[in-house]
């Protein structure tokens, strides 16, 4: 029994395209963060959210399709690799190629997002430091754990002038 997987390959190709869009957005976001363009950052965030939603919908479709394969062919599929023994050699090669492409893109996206996360942390840290220098205290900047830090620091600017 050979399973026809053209529909699955189409979904995976669409997921690969969405991942590429997310990579492009994440890589361009680095420059946006460097120049501190808040409006462009907001626009990029909206675009990233849209692409994230598309990816989630495609993932849902992929899961539904795998359940369909399970029911139609009376096999157990916990992940895509379970299909390997039920595919023609050509389809198996296509599935392997698209899977590898998706894994590479996922790693690229992860790397770009980590860099953006570090740049955002650096920017927030700088802003926090500037607030402390100007106000002489920490006024409601939330920490990594979500707790509010209120440590007092010596005033560097004389407000009495």
Please give the full DSSP string across the chain, using - where no structure is assigned.
Answer: -----HHHHHHHHHHHHHHHHHHHHHHHHHHHHHHT-HHHHHHHHHHHHHHHHHHHHHHHHHHHHHHHHHHHHT---SSGGGGGGGS-HHHHHHHHHHHHHHHHHHHHHHHHHHHHHHHHHHHHHHHHHHHHHHHSB--SEE-TTSPEE--B---SS-TT-
Return the higher-pLDDT residue of 157 and 65. Answer: 65
Evaluate whether 94 touches 50 at the Cβ level (below 8 Å). Answer: no
Owning domain of residue 59: 6-138
Residue 159 lies in a domain: no
154 belongs to a structural domain: no
Whether this model's pTM surpasses 0.85? no
| pLDDT one-digit tens code per residue, 9-62 | 999 999 999 999 999 999 999 888 888 888 998 999 999 999 999 999 999 999
Average pLDDT over residues 82-102: 92
> Quick check: is 85 in a domain?
yes
Q: Is residue 129 part of a domain?
A: yes
13 located within any domain: yes
Number of domains in the chain: 1
- Between residues 160 and 96, which one has the greater pLDDT? 96
For position 84, which CATH number holds?
1.20.58
pLDDT of residue 156 exceeding 70: no
Strands 141-142 and 148-149, by their bridges, are antiparallel
Q: What is the overall mean pLDDT for the chain?
A: 85
pLDDT tens digits, one per residue of 10-22: 999 999 999 999 9
């Amino acid at each position: 029994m050979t399973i026809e997987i053209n529909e699955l390959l189409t979904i995976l190709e669409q997921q690969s395209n969405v991942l590429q869009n997310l990579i492009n957005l994440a890589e361009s976001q680095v420059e946006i963060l460097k120049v501190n363009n808040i409006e462009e950052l907001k626009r990029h965030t909206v675009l990233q959210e849209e692409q994230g939603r598309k990816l989630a919908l495609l993932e849902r479709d992929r899961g539904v399709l795998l359940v369909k394969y399970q029911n139609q062919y009376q096999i157990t599929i916990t992940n895509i690799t379970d299909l390997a023994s039920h595919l023609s050699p050509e389809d198996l090669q296509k599935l392997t190629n698209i899977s590898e492409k998706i894994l590479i893109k996922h790693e690229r996206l992860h790397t770009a997002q980590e860099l953006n996360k570090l740049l955002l942390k650096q920017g927030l840290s700088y802003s926090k430091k500037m607030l402390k220098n100007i106000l002489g205290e920490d006024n409601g900047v939330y920490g990594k754990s979500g707790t509010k830090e209120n440590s007092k620091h010596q005033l560097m600017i004389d407000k009495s002038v």
